[in-house]
A and B are shown apart, each in its own frame.
Chain A
Amino acid sequence: MDTIIKLIETLPLAWKIVMVSIIVIGNLVYLFRKQIIKIFKKKEPTINLKEHKLFTEKSYLIHKIKMISLDSEKKSKLFQQLLLIKYEAIRKHAIILIENKELENISNKHFLALIIKNMTTIVDEYNEQLKFKFGEELFEMVMNHREKGFNIIHEKTVTFIKSAVDETFESDHVVFTTIEDKMDFLLDLYYIAMKIAMTDIDIVYNNFNGDLTRLLKNCKNCF
């Protein structure tokens, strides 16, 4: 260090300024090296989440839902409405989640908490809308029945997504290296959940076919 200082002292003023600047900049670079590396390492996302099937196959999914045909037009419409409203809630809140700028710097723990919150919001929202659409009696029967209702049947799928996200990220977080990667996996699960909801409808339909016929017969303003 002493040699460097002596060497600098022998230099003309302009060179002294240059040398001191180099040393100062060098030290600053060393002090803030982690932040600098982070800035330059930042890559553009490789996955375009808005191109996920959950969004791009909107028409296809809606078509599949509208193809559901049961033993009466009212029953078909009832379950079609249920699935359409559910799909719209999933799509809307999945977009809100992927557009959340705070995700970039979020910890794994907070990310998981955010996903759970997102899923709860989806369930709350479609239940709220269906309550309005179906009316109290039909809603309580089709959605909230404690043994046969859609919510209790579909609960298995919701639990599956929660634990899949939780355990897969926790157990082998090296596999999912970027936030886009994690989000892409979550959107896969949302898409799978939507497909499973279509088969859950069959279970619900078979659970109380007769009761539904009676309820829908008396329900003039259901749709």
Chain B
Amino acid sequence: MKDKYKLGIDIIDEQHQKIFDLIEKLYENIDKKGLEIIINELKRYSLYHFETEEKYFNNINFKLAVEHTQLHNIFIETIDYYYENSEKLNKKKLYAFLQTWIKKHILIEDKKYTLKENIE
């Protein structure tokens, strides 16, 4: 993971790294079954990570916690959709979409909870 994606909060940076690694696995030579396993793992781990973030929001009194949690729900709903519609699973499309989403989410949305003006 490039330095620009690091927030300076160790536990969250480690979890982001793990999510990046899971998304990268989509580009490996895997069959359909393997793809389903990765998507499932990605969903499970993302839920765990979002829980960590949401607990962190409570600790720091993050002003934008509700809006941020909504973005987490959108992500999970999207992963769910592609898991449930495994016949549509195209790893290239999914890779392009997830890569873009996670990078933008960290750079724009996650950065917000590192800024003092967003903490009560």
Contacts and interface: CB of A to CB of B under 8 A. Distances in A.
Interface of A: 53, 153, 156-157, 160, 163-164, 167-168, 171-172, 175-176, 184-185, 188, 191-192, 195-196, 199-200, 203
Contacts, number: 51
Interface of B: 67, 70-71, 73-74, 77-78, 81-82, 85, 88, 92-93, 95-97, 99-101, 104
B100 A171 contact: yes
Question: Chain B's interface: helix, strand, loop or mixed, by majority?
Answer: helix
Contacts of A200: 70
28 contacts: A53-B85, A153-B70, A160-B71, A160-B74, A163-B104, A164-B97, A164-B100, A167-B104, A168-B93, A168-B96, A168-B97, A168-B100, A175-B92, A175-B95, A175-B96, A185-B93, A185-B97, A188-B82, A188-B88, A192-B77, A192-B81, A195-B77, A195-B81, A196-B77, A199-B73, A199-B77, A200-B70, A203-B70
Contacts of B100: 164, 167-168, 171-172
Contact of A171 (B70, B85, B88, B96): B96
Contacts of B104: 163, 167
8 smallest CB-CB distances across A and B, nearest first, come from A172-B96, A167-B100, A175-B96, A175-B92, A168-B97, A156-B70, A192-B81, A160-B74
